[in-house]
Amino acid sequence: MLLILFLLTITGCSALNCVQIQPAQIYNGNIVYIPGGNGSLQLLPANYNCTYRILPPVNYNTGLYAKVKLKNGLRGANDFIIVTDVDGKATTMNNRTGIGGLPFKYLVFPGAQFFIQVTTKSVLMNSLFSITVEYHNAPIGPTSQLKTGSEMNYFEMATVRDGRNVFSSRTFTDKDSIYMYVGRKDNGVITCWDCFLIDGTFMNQTRVFRLDTCNAYVVDGPPNNSSKVIMDISNATMPKSFDLKYFSVINLDCDFKFGVNSYDN
């Protein structure tokens, strides 16, 4: 008598699919866990490719903003996560980005677009990830017409914060182009984190700029007139590999930190 036994193993990741945040889940105070669970890391199957969209709604005088927390537990060498922030800047993460560290946190203001693409290759490497999205009310601030003639247009950005809401805004309108210059403190540092400029309106955003102090470069060799810029840190994709014996980082009015790993061939 020949007994043939088939073992079928069903894991939690087999049911994982690319389900997006549903409209009924988008309201003040709600927390959405992607792809589920309670915010802890979730197992990814092989051959997985999904772009999660976080698009907080907005109308003329109010909206919602989103707090996004991303945990990267990738283990496969070819698995990756691409985060596209509200200003369109894309950052690629892999199995050397964020392992064992703190989660990555983002703020998404009303009407903005924020994307997280999660991709695994054909071999199951037990990669993990999780996304937590919190929605909160976001009152839209007042709108002002720019002054003309000899009157100076200026605005104290500290007055935007009302002490009650994480998100707050102020809108200026004019028929001509608007140019902005930012004053700085004595130490030259702009202390406005997660501050954005929107070209257009909340409901029709043409382009988004992050108000951020960062002019820093990586150059080959010592910093001198013959140095070649090999990376602009303000728009770099991380992590980055350099096949160099040594290089220099030039910091021009920028607050940042980075880590370096060395590998032998």
Q: Could you give the CA distance from residue 34 to residue 130 in angstroms, rounded to a whole number?
A: 6
Which pLDDT value is given to residue 106? Answer: 93
Adjacent-strand bridge partners of 133: 32, 68
Q: Stretch 214-228: mean pLDDT, rounded?
A: 77
pLDDT tens, residue by residue, 71-128: 999 999 999 999 999 999 999 998 888 666 679 999 999 999 999 999 999 999 999 9
Q: What is the DSSP letter of 123?
A: S
What's the pTM value of the predicted model, to 2 decimals?
A: 0.73
Q: Is the pLDDT of residue 5 over 50?
A: no
Task: For residue 235, name the pLDDT band (cuts at 50, 70, 90).
Answer: low
pLDDT tens, residue by residue, 14-64: 447 899 999 999 999 999 999 988 999 999 999 999 999 999 999 888 899
Which pLDDT value is given to residue 214? Answer: 62
**Residues near 224 by beta carbon (within 8 Å), at least 6 away in sequence:** none
Alpha-carbon torsion angle 202, 203, 208, 213, nearest 10: 10
Q: Could you give the CA distance from residue 110 to residue 164 in angstroms, rounded to a whole number?
A: 17
Q: Is the pLDDT of residue 141 over 60?
A: yes
Both tokens assigned to 178: 């608007």
Q: Could you give the CA distance from residue 135 to residue 64 in angstroms, rounded to a whole number?
A: 6
Which pLDDT value is given to residue 23? Answer: 94
Q: Could you give the CA distance from residue 76 to residue 4 in angstroms, rounded to a whole number?
A: 34
Q: Is the pLDDT of residue 260 over 90?
A: no
Looking at domain 26-139, its CATH superfamily turns out to be Spermadhesin, CUB domain (2.60.120.290)
DSSP 3-state of 183: coil
Which amino acid is present at 173? T
**Worst-scoring range by mean pLDDT, 70-79, 141-150, 230-239?**
230-239
Q: Is the pLDDT of residue 265 over 90?
A: no
Conformational region of residue 203, where left means phi above 0, alpha means psi within -120 to 50, and beta covers everything else: alpha
pLDDT tens, residue by residue, 153-211: 777 777 777 777 788 888 888 887 777 766 666 665 666 667 888 888 888 898 888 87
Both tokens assigned to 142: 């007042």
Sign of the torsion formed by the C-alpha atoms of 46, 50, 54 and 57: negative
Which pLDDT value is given to residue 185? Answer: 62
Which pLDDT value is given to residue 105? Answer: 92
> Which among 108, 131, 98 has a CA at the least distance from the CA of 16?
131
Residue ranges covered by each domain of the chain: 26-139, 215-252
Tokens 């792809």, residue located: 35
Q: What is the phi/psi pair of residue 234, to 5°?
A: -65, -25
